[in-house]
Amino acid sequence: MFKQIRKTMQNTNGRCYFNMGEMLDSLALDHITNLSTMLIPFIADFKQAYLMLLTKSANISNLLTVKANNQTVVSWSLNSPDIIDLHEKGTANLAERINSAQKCQQHGYRLHYRIDPGFIYPEWKKGYAETIKMALTKTEPENITLGMLRLLPGHNRLALNAYPSRPPVCDDNILKCKASDGKLRFTTNLRIEFYKYLIDIIRSFNKKVSIGICRETNQVLSELDGLIDLNKCNCITWQP
């Protein structure tokens, strides 16, 4: 992997973004691999390279032993406490994640949050307001990226087959809207309501943080014009 990164950087004149959190948790096994202690200083040697670490853990001991740099962003995937308790078994709870984020920011790391996938459930407004309040009263992230639950047809069936003892992630009857990308989603109106509500709560605590939207349709993005920054999301790391 290190050879691949070095080769990539030798063959480019622009910035390169290395996202370790797209298909896995960047820090869940870090106490076994110790990868962060090698990768963070390695990335710092390439001034146009940027590293994104995304996690639902509180596994930050290694991060606090190495020098932070402006090319590394540590991002926490957050959700409402209800959703964490129900669907994110084995992960750190909300308070543990935010306390870890606070320690990393104090150590000098750049900080992002990703609230995705968002759920509509009876107490969703209360739950997500609690999440945002806890995060933004303890930390000052550069960016908060929002997204909502989207499933390819068959995802629920695969999840039920893999974890038969767990409740389904979402009743098939709730995700009624097959969007332009072929994914099942909450209705357009519900998604717009969700985003605008969370944006209002975020702005009540932090007027400056950039807000991105993850993998949404053009119709929803157009309804949020002026409220979000299309050029800044969790997956892209920019110069501070």
Encode pLDDT of 71-103 as tens digits.
Answer: 999 999 999 999 999 889 899 999 999 999 999
Q: Is residue 207 part of a domain?
A: yes
3-state SS record for the chain: CHHHHHHHHHCCCCCEEEECCCCCCCCCCHHHHCHHHHHHHHHHCCCCEEEEEEECCCCCCCHHHCCCCCCEEEEEEECCHHHHHHHCCCCCCHHHHHHHHHHHHHHCCEEEEEEEEECCCCCHHHHHHHHHHHHHHHCCCCEEEEEECEECCCHHHHHHHHCCCCCCCCCCCCCCEECCCCCEECCHHHHHHHHHHHHHHHHHHCCCCEEEECCCCHHHHHHCCCCCCCCCCCCCCCCC
Both 44 and 94 in one domain: the answer is yes
Name the residue range of residue 143's domain: 2-149+187-223
Both 218 and 165 in one domain: the answer is no
Both 199 and 106 in one domain: the answer is yes
What's the chain's average pLDDT?
91
Which of 10, 15, 145, 166 lies closest to 90 in space, CA to CA? 166
Both 37 and 140 in one domain: the answer is yes
Both 109 and 161 in one domain: the answer is no
Among residues 136, 170, 185, the one where a domain terminates is: 185
| pLDDT on residue 233 | 79
| pLDDT on residue 61 | 98
pLDDT over 70 at 166, yes or no: no
pLDDT confidence band for 158 (50 / 70 / 90): confident
Average of per-residue pLDDT across 117-125? 93
What's 40's domain CATH number?
A: 3.80.30.30
| pLDDT on residue 173 | 55
Q: Is residue 138 part of a domain?
A: yes
| pLDDT on residue 234 | 75
Phi, psi of 28 (to 5 degrees): -60, -35
Both 40 and 121 in one domain: the answer is yes
| pLDDT on residue 43 | 96
Q: Is residue 232 part of a domain?
A: no
Q: Write b or e for each residue in 171-189: b if 16 or more Cβ atoms lie within 10 A of its Cβ, otherwise e.
A: eeebbebebeeebbbbeee
Does 119 or 240 have the greater pLDDT score?
119
Report the alpha-carbon distance of residue 46 to residue 15 in Å, rounded: 10
| pLDDT on residue 156 | 72
| pLDDT on residue 38 | 97
Q: Is residue 142 part of a domain?
A: yes
Tokens representing residue 65 in the block: 């032993």
Q: Is residue 236 part of a domain?
A: no
Phi, psi of 232 (to 5 degrees): -135, 115
Tokens representing residue 7 in the block: 């080769």
pLDDT over 70 at 216, yes or no: yes
| pLDDT on residue 183 | 82
| pLDDT on residue 164 | 77
Q: How many domains does the chain fold into? A: 2
Q: Is residue 108 part of a domain?
A: yes
pLDDT over 70 at 170, yes or no: no
Both 24 and 82 in one domain: the answer is yes
pLDDT confidence band for 210 (50 / 70 / 90): very high
Both 49 and 117 in one domain: the answer is yes
Does 225 or 237 have the greater pLDDT score?
225
